[in-house]
A = this chain, B = another copy of it.
Amino acid sequence: MDRKDEHNTIDGIDSVETMDDMTFVLFGASGDLAKRKIYPALYNLFIEGKMPSSLSVVGLGRRKYSQEDFHSIIKESLESFSRRDVDSSHLDEFLESFRYFIFDAMEPQSYQDLKAFIEEREAEKSIPENRLFYLSVAPSLVEPITESLHKSGMTELDGWKKLIVEKPFGSDLHSARHLNQELTKVFDEEEIFRIDHYLGKPMVQNLESLIRPNPILKSLWNHEQIASVQITASETVGVGTRAGYYDKSGAIRDMVQNHLLQLVMMTALHHPEKLSAKQIEEKKTKIMEALRPIDKDDVATHVVRGQYEAGEMDAQAVVGYKDEKDVEETSNNDTYFAARLYIDNEYWKGIPFYIRTGKRMEKKSTRIIIEFKNEVQEADSQGAMSNLLIIEINPNESVGLRINLKDDGNEKFEPAYINFSKNLDQQPEAYENLLNDAMAGNSTYFAHWNEVELSWKWIQPILEAFEADELPLHGYNAGSRGPEAAEKLLNEDGFTWWEV
Report A's interface with B, CB cutoff 8 A.
6, 10-12, 48, 202, 205-206, 209-210, 212-217, 219-220, 222, 225, 273-274, 372-377, 379-382, 384, 387, 389, 399-401, 403-406, 408-413, 416-420, 422, 426-428, 433
Contacts and interface: CB of A to CB of B under 8 A. Distances in A.
A189 to B, nearest CB: 24
B418 A419 contact: yes
20 contacts: A10-B382, A10-B411, A206-B405, A209-B406, A209-B413, A212-B376, A213-B376, A213-B404, A215-B376, A215-B387, A216-B220, A216-B389, A399-B416, A399-B418, A401-B401, A408-B428, A409-B428, A410-B428, A410-B433, A416-B420
Contacts of A428: 408-410
A433 B214 CA distance: 36
A419 B377 CA distance: 26
A380 B212 contact: yes
Contacts of A273: 377
A200 B150 CA distance: 77
Given A216-B389, A379-B274, A419-B420, A399 B403 contact: yes
Contacts of A210: 405
Contacts of A202: 406, 408, 410
A253 to B, nearest CB: 29
Given A6-B411, A209-B380, 14 more contacts: A10-B382, A12-B380, A212-B376, A212-B380, A215-B375, A274-B377, A399-B403, A399-B418, A408-B422, A409-B428, A410-B428, A418-B418, A418-B420, A419-B420
Contacts of A215: 225, 372-376, 387
A410 to B, nearest CB: 6
A409 B214 contact: no
Given A212-B380, A274-B379, A377-B273, A206 B412 contact: no
Contact of A427 (B387, B408, B420, B427): B408
Which 8 residue pairs spanning A and B have beta carbons closest together?
A418-B420, A213-B384, A213-B404, A216-B387, A12-B379, A416-B420, A408-B426, A214-B403
Contacts of A420: 403, 405, 416-419
B209 A403 contact: no
A141 to B, nearest CB: 32
B216 A409 contact: no
A372 B213 CA distance: 12
A193 B100 CA distance: 84
Given A418-B400, A419-B419, A413 B216 contact: no
Q: Which of A12, A373, A403 has the most CB of B within 10 A?
A: A403
A8 to B, nearest CB: 10
A11 B373 CA distance: 23
Nearest to A386: B215
Given A206-B406, A209-B406, A410-B202, A387 B214 contact: yes
A376 B216 CA distance: 11
Contacts of A380: 12, 209, 212-213, 274
A219 B217 contact: no
A222 B225 contact: no
A55 to B, nearest CB: 20
Nearest to A445: B410
A225 B214 CA distance: 11
A12 B215 CA distance: 34
A433 B409 CA distance: 9
A6 B410 CA distance: 12
A428 B401 CA distance: 25
Contact of A222 (B10, B219, B376, B418): B219
Nearest to A399: B418
A216 B205 contact: no
Contacts of A433: 410
